[in-house]
Amino acid sequence: MEEDFGTPFREEKDTEIKGPEKHEQSFPDLLPSPVLSDQKQMRKIALLFLGAGLFIVLLTGAFIFGWVVNSDNDKTSSINMASDQIGVVQELMEALVNNSGDLTESEVAAIIAEMTSFNSEVEPVVAVADTVSRSVVIVRSETGQGSGIALDDQRRVVTNAHVLGDSETVQVLLPSGRMVEARIIGSDIRRDVAVIELDDVDNSLVPARFASSQNLRVGQLAVAVGSPFELNQTVTSGIVSAIGRVEPSYGCEIAGPMSAECAGVAMIQTDAPINPGNSGGPLADRNGHVIGMNTSIRTEGFLSANVGVGFAIPSDTVLLVAQRLISREPIGTAFLGILGETPTDGRAGALLLEVQESSPAYVAGLEVGDLIVRVDRRPILNMQALRADIQLRLPDEEVVLEYIRGEKILETTVRLASLDDEYQQ
């Protein structure tokens, strides 16, 4: 880390000699060394204390970070890293103490900058890879291969539904290189999430730590881990390019866009390279916490590899659907009963163009021309976001909709119906 200390301190020298001694010569060899003024001496002492304080803060932060993100097997490496840094900074501190009388203030500032620059040597992607890789497995099904994320300490792993396909048997390769059998707990093709349970595990696999996707920001670091093209434990990095990108689910691919199996899923867009085999693997933040599950890529023409537009299912969606599958809840898609579009006048929300008679929206009193702006107090940016929010929910759930009608902001509670029942009519 480079720190800007502003304009370097300079010792100002008087070039004008005042009084009758103006034309007399001095004899440097016979005179004692000039003594710094108390003010300048105090500034150098303050810089020494500043450097020591920065060193302690940065070293403590680096040590705690390594201690937190590493498992018990890696505590020694964190301590060794901190010890190496202590040795480097000790040498610099000795140089300051032993030579402080001969150093100018700008030289003291330069040494302090070197002391604090060691923190920039800690590579965030390396730290994330070390943490997340221990929670990633290879999932091999009858239809192909993908990746998976260790969900908990009950031998459960979460992956994409399209990785499993119609397979009845699944094998999982652990980080240790050991192959184990697994059984399928459940698969939801509408959200492209599946959960499997391993027959056995070893200590090479640790549950991943998940972060809420509600706190994501565009531009933050994103690290993808998986096994593209059967290249195990491949790490790529990029940023979160966008959030809330609604993409058609795996169910749209296998059942068609006009089926109850087809749903829109709000995704994280990233430019971290994702390729075939990454599906089901984690997308992590700089703390090594999983923020999404890598799922698909956008391609053009004959290209089938990544071109910098990849999509991951947000962690909140992954955990919600996984819990449904573990709890054996029925898989379904909620139905509101409206047709709408995104306004083109700069307003956010979903503008209703049609309200189906006898639908949940009709019963709740919604009308053509209403602009839905919030769902359960969360803002809705466009029609695609409303679709993804409703279709993530299950039938019979109640949802609070806020909408604008004319100049009024109104609110209504809607009990959602079943999209499956709608298609069966």
Asked if 23 is an active-site residue, the reply is no
Asked if 389 is an active-site residue, the reply is no
Query: Residue 24 has what DSSP assignment?
Result: P
- Classified as helix, coil or strand, 122 is coil
Task: Dig out the tokens for 399 from the structure.
Answer: 């949802």
Percent helix, percent strand, percent coil in the chain, to nearest 5:
35, 30, 40
Closest CA to 375 of 343, 349, 352, 338: 349
Identity of the amino acid at 215? N
Asked if 192 is an active-site residue, the reply is yes
- DSSP assignment of 143-163 equals S-EEEEEE-SSSSEEEE-HHH
Task: Dig out the tokens for 388 from the structure.
Answer: 């993804």
* HEC profile of 57-120: HHHHHHHHHHHHHCCHHHHHHHHHHHHHHHHHHHHHHHHHHHHCCCCCHHHHHHHHHHHHHHHH
Among candidate residues 78, 141, 147, 162, the one labeled active-site is 162
Instruction: Name the pairing type of β-strands 193-198 and 264-270.
Output: unpaired
232-265 in b/e form (b: 16+ CB < 10 A) is: bbbbbbbebbbbbbbbebbbbeeeeeeebbbbbb
Under 8 Å between Cβ of 189 and 254: yes
∠ CA 356-383-372 to the nearest 5 degrees? 70
Query: Residue 382 has what DSSP assignment?
Result: S
Rounded CA-CA distance 132/155 in Å is: 17
Task: Dig out the tokens for 175 from the structure.
Answer: 């980080």
Among candidate residues 188, 192, 316, 389, the one labeled active-site is 192
Among candidate residues 227, 241, 249, 279, the one labeled active-site is 279
Task: Dig out the tokens for 350 from the structure.
Answer: 């979903």
Give the active site residues.
162, 192, 279
